[in-house]
């Protein structure tokens, strides 16, 4: 990971990023903390009522684009998901550490048959979940 110079930034969810973030929430299973699905109106409400960020990732080899989404209300994570394009690269942990900023967070963690990996990352990084 260090050799690839993997970097990320948290961006506002606006313009074209809205559709990409909704797509991530709708399609991701293994790296989706809640597995909730939103229609367009519900997703708009989530964006309006939460602090939402798109996760943009790149490394020395190229740009992965928007590969993650996080929605928070204060110190509570409402939604967190990542594309499998960045699985096993440590992005999830780095994003969680950044949004925590040293504070104690809570989260909606919903166990599904397929999201064990993200639940494990959330548990190990933040001490939240099963």
pLDDT digits (tens, 9 = 90+) for 100-113: 999 999 998 999 99
- For the record, the structure tokens of 58 come out as 């790149």
10-29 confidence digits (pLDDT tens): 999 999 999 999 999 999 99
Contact 24, 68 (CB under 8 A): yes
The whole-number average pLDDT for the span 84-101 is 91
Whether pLDDT at 86 is above 60? yes
Contact 130, 119 (CB under 8 A): yes
Pick from 13-17, 87-91, 122-126: least confident? 87-91
Would you state the pLDDT for residue 130?
A: 65
- Sign of the torsion angle spanned by Cα atoms 74, 78, 84, 89: positive
29-85 confidence digits (pLDDT tens): 999 999 999 999 999 999 999 999 999 999 998 999 999 999 999 999 999 999 998
């Amino acid at each position: 990971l260090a050799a690839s110079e993997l970097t990320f930034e948290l961006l506002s969810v606006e313009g074209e990023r809205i559709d990409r973030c909704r797509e991530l929430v709708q399609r991701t299973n293994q790296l989706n903390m809640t597995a909730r699905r939103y229609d367009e109106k519900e997703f708009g409400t989530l964006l309006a009522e939460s602090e939402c960020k798109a996760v943009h990732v790149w490394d020395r080899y190229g740009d992965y684009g928007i590969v993650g989404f996080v929605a928070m209300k204060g110190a509570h994570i409402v939604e967190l998901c990542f594309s499998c394009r960045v699985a096993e690269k440590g992005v999830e942990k780095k994003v969680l550490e950044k949004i925590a900023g040293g504070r104690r967070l809570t989260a909606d963690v919903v166990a599904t048959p397929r999201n064990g990996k993200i639940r494990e990352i959330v548990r190990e990084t933040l001490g939240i979940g099963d």
